[in-house]
Amino acid sequence: MRGCRVIVPLGKNKTYVGVVLRIHQECPQDVEVKEVIELLDTVPVVSNLQFKFWQWIASYYMCPLGDVFKAALPGGMKRPLKRNCKTVEDIYKGMLGDTGTELQYNGLSDAQKKAVCEITTSFETKDITLLHGVTSSGKTEIYIHLIHKYMTEGKQVLYLLPEIALTTQITERLQRVFGDEMGVYHSKFSDKVRFDVYQRQVSANPYKLILGVRSSVFLPFQNLGLVIVDEEHDGSYKQQEPAPRYHARNAAMMLAKMCGAKTLLGTATPSFESYHYAKKGRYGYVQLNQRYLGLQLPHITVVDIKDQRKRKVMNGAFSSVLVDAMHDALAKHQQIILFQNRRGYSSFIECRQCGWVPRCPHCDVSLTYHKKTKMLTCHYCGYATRPATKCPNCEETNFIDVGLGTEKVEDQIHSIFPAARTLRMDLDTAKTKNQYEQIIGAFSNHEADILVGTQMVTKGLDFSDVSVVGVLNADTMLNQPDFRSYERSFQTLSQVAGRAGRKYEAGKVVLQTKNADADIIKQIAQNDYWGMYYQQMMERRDFNYPPFRRLIYIYLRHRDNDLLEHMAIEMAEHLKGIFGDRVLGPDCPPVGRIQSLYIRKVMLKVEPTLSTEKVRKALIEEKRRIIAQPVCRNINIYYDVDPV
Ligand SMILES: [Zn+2]
Ligand SMILES: [Zn+2]
């Protein structure tokens, strides 16, 4: 019975699907006992090991076990569903076309062989190994070797990718090698497909390889031998909303530990946490410095926008250096990627006379102008409205647009290079997996010369014709008010630079900034990861940030700003009584109101040696204490453990 699903009555007329956790004879207090309506499974669909894993997630990330249950089981498992309709194999075949099972890798360099040997040796003494390989060093080939090795030994493998990087490109490549032994698990797939993958994992013939995004850590594994976390530094491994706010990389490492499996973390730009543990010897460390097939790293030219403005050689957001590089590339029928980390047309619009700026009525942000839809949109809650024809403040009819979004970049390209064909990839044009893949497909087939996009263009894509990459404004990323902003900028900008020069000798990257002399810009231009790491780690140590301390953010949300402020101060003071100066705040986050709820944040910085259990108990007790006050019943309090 334990681990089987049951239909249970809840309230007057509602029924729910639950999972049997424990069978006991203890009569619960204050709760009416009801009969189970139906038993849905004959064999357990949640194993003891999974329960243990769920409980670890609930405890570590401080959320109810029910939230983990909701995240862990695909929708189809949580309501009664007819089985044996269309099989998941049919769906893959329709999606991917014909596949073979031929092993495609052929021992493709010496550096890779050496890396595979080093990883295998490292696993003899370490459970976790960090593979630090420059972009295009052929990490996927190494993964394929290792997956094959573990599968031959009868072990299962989990291969995790960040959500956006899980494209048909990688799926097809692995499918060609592993054929029917591989299952794909993605939140954009239908419930039915996810249900089938889950069911097959508890059957007598489970997939030997699962390629999936963060939620695939919740799949059942019967004999897990290896977990690969590709692009381990990627922030999208952290679930933000709703709970459980787990970090899939860290959760996967815990899962591997529980299963006695090994973990391989792969990246070109390690997260500080992983690099720190590798340096300390807690993780194994394997480096891969050579680009695959002797490709050279791209050459990065830093362009000082301030200087270009002074000399009046800027054309809109384009420096003369970037324009020249683009002209050259277009003349040779090569392709270009332009990166601007802001979607929409302009950041906001402003009354020319009095400076009035339209803002979201529900959130504490200005509205972004989208030219294509002719709408002002809130990027936090989705509120949209038509721009006013005159200023409500002074009746002026002239507005100026401030800031640079991907739409405006596309407009400017059309005026500078009228013949160039462009594609844009951001949350507006690539809402669905299909749209996203259509854009990638079209650009791969050279149906466009220039691809403009947000962070989406930086991830896991291989375009063989791209010779120029332009970063229009590196400063928007660097100026984020976050202790990780330099680490993240380095990772993102290295990644986008790595898209250049795959087929051509050394691609060209033009990085535009107002801070050309800043150390971080020099470190990015010289691909000096170590220099950036060393300098940033000094600051992290001095200011007690990860990996020297663990961070827990406590968020409070309420409609009434005064009540919220009062309670947040009370909570912070009370916690300071327990944890002393480890408690900071309360602060108002940069966006202090979202969807009509005001927000406060209290920060807790704890030594990694401090008992997690003790901290957890104190925080949960504090939440109980606050909510017990009648006036605070509607305050929403939640925790973000190890925020990114
Ligand atoms: Zn005005
Ligand atoms: Zn809003």
Minimum-distance ligand to the CA of 388? 1
Cα 332 to ligand 1 centre (Å): 48
The vertex-361 CA angle with 455 and 456, nearest 5°, equals: 5
Q: What is the pLDDT of residues 145-158, one digit of tens each?
A: 999 999 999 999 99
CA distance 374 to 362: 20
Residue 249 is classified by DSSP as H
Looking up tokens 């009525």 gives 361
Task: Give residue 190's pLDDT band: very low, low, confident or very high (50, 70, 90).
Answer: confident
CA 355, distance to chain mean position in Å, is 36
Residue 58, both tokens: 């609930």
Which regions of the chain carry the CATH code 3.30.70.600?
550-641
Cα 384 to ligand 2 centre (Å): 8
DSSP assignment of 98-119: --------S---HHHHHHHHHH
Query: Which segment of 73-77, 188-192, 224-228 scores lowest on mean pLDDT?
Result: 188-192
| Dihedral angle over CA of 299, 305, 308, 310, nearest 10 | -160
Cα 408 to ligand 1 centre (Å): 23
Q: What is the pLDDT of residues 566-620, one digit of tens each?
A: 999 999 999 999 999 999 999 999 899 999 999 999 999 999 888 888 899 999 9
Cα 434 to ligand 2 centre (Å): 27
> Given strand 5-10, what is the order of strands in its sheet?
14-19, 5-10, 38-39
Cα 627 to ligand 2 centre (Å): 27
Q: What is the pLDDT of residues 445-501, one digit of tens each?
A: 999 999 999 988 887 677 888 999 999 999 988 988 889 999 999 999 988 888 887
Cα 362 to ligand 2 centre (Å): 5
- Homologous superfamily of 295-346+403-539: P-loop containing nucleotide triphosphate hydrolases (3.40.50.300)
| Dihedral angle over CA of 432, 435, 441, 442, nearest 10 | -160
Omega into 586 within 30° of 0, i.e. cis? yes
- Homologous superfamily of 88-293: P-loop containing nucleotide triphosphate hydrolases (3.40.50.300)
Cα 401 to ligand 1 centre (Å): 14
Cα atoms in the Cβ-side hemisphere of radius 13 Å centred on 467:
18
Cα 360 to ligand 2 centre (Å): 5
Give the pLDDT score at 86: 39
CA distances to 322, 358, 409, 501 from 346, rounded to whole Å, are 21, 13, 10, 31
Minimum-distance ligand to the CA of 384? 2
Cα 362 to ligand 1 centre (Å): 22
Give the domain 550-641 fold: Alpha-Beta Plaits (3.30.70)
CA distance 511 to 303: 6
DSSP assignment of 308-363: HHHTT--BTTB-HHHHHHHHHHHHTT-EEEEE-S--SSBSEEEETTT----B-SSS
Give the pLDDT score at 335: 95
Omega into 242 within 30° of 0, i.e. cis? yes
| H or E stretch covering 50 | helix 48-60
Encoded amino acid at 349, one letter: I
Ligand 1 is an ion; its neighbours by CB within 5 Å are: 351, 353-354, 356, 391, 393-394, 396
CA distance 266 to 167: 17
- Homologous superfamily of 5-78: PriA, 3(prime) DNA-binding domain (3.40.1440.60)
Task: Give residue 87's pLDDT band: very low, low, confident or very high (50, 70, 90).
Answer: very low
Residue 109, both tokens: 């360099």
Minimum-distance ligand to the CA of 379? 2
Task: Give residue 295's pLDDT band: very low, low, confident or very high (50, 70, 90).
Answer: low
CA 202, distance to chain mean position in Å, is 28
Cα 390 to ligand 1 centre (Å): 8
Q: Which residues of 296-329 are buried (b: 16+ CB within 10 A; e: fewer)?
A: ebbebebbbbeebeeeeebeebbbebbbebbeeb
CA distance 66 to 244: 9
Cα 569 to ligand 2 centre (Å): 26
Give the pLDDT score at 106: 42
Minimum-distance ligand to the CA of 594? 2
Minimum-distance ligand to the CA of 353? 1
Name, in order, each residue with C-beta under 8 angstroms of 128's C-beta and a sequence gap of 6 or more: 253, 256, 262, 263, 264, 265, 277, 282, 283, 284
Minimum-distance ligand to the CA of 382? 2
CA distance 278 to 289: 17
Cα 427 to ligand 1 centre (Å): 31
Query: Which segment of 108-117, 215-224, 311-320 scores lowest on mean pLDDT?
Result: 108-117
Which regions of the chain carry the CATH code 3.40.50.300?
88-293, 295-346+403-539
Instruction: State the burial class of residue 584 (Cβ atoms within 10 Å of its Cβ: 0-12, 13-18, 19+).
Output: middle
Cα 597 to ligand 2 centre (Å): 10
Give the pLDDT score at 328: 95
CB 341 within 8 A of CB 471: no
Give the pLDDT score at 40: 92
Give the pLDDT score at 563: 95
Cα 350 to ligand 1 centre (Å): 8
Cα 370 to ligand 1 centre (Å): 20
CA distance 305 to 385: 34
For the cut 90, the answer to whether the pLDDT of residue 262 exceeds it is yes
For the cut 50, the answer to whether the pLDDT of residue 83 exceeds it is no
Minimum-distance ligand to the CA of 351? 1
For the cut 60, the answer to whether the pLDDT of residue 504 exceeds it is no
Q: Within 10 A of 528 (CB to CB), how many other CB atoms are there? A: 16
Minimum-distance ligand to the CA of 400? 1
Cα 591 to ligand 2 centre (Å): 10
For the cut 50, the answer to whether the pLDDT of residue 100 exceeds it is no
pTM above 0.85, yes or no: yes
Cα 404 to ligand 2 centre (Å): 20
Give the pLDDT score at 633: 84
CB 108 within 8 A of CB 138: yes
Cα 369 to ligand 1 centre (Å): 17
Percent of the chain with pLDDT over 70: 94
Q: Within 10 A of 515 (CB to CB), how many other CB atoms are there? A: 16
Cα 600 to ligand 2 centre (Å): 17
Cα 349 to ligand 1 centre (Å): 11
Q: What is the pLDDT of residues 32-46, one digit of tens each?
A: 888 999 999 989 999
| H or E stretch covering 59 | helix 48-60
Q: What is the pLDDT of residues 47-56, one digit of tens each?
A: 999 999 999 9
Give the pLDDT score at 2: 93
Beta bridge partners of 266: 131, 230
Looking up tokens 């394997």 gives 286
Cα 594 to ligand 1 centre (Å): 26
CA distance 336 to 433: 23
Minimum-distance ligand to the CA of 367? 2
CB 603 within 8 A of CB 553: yes
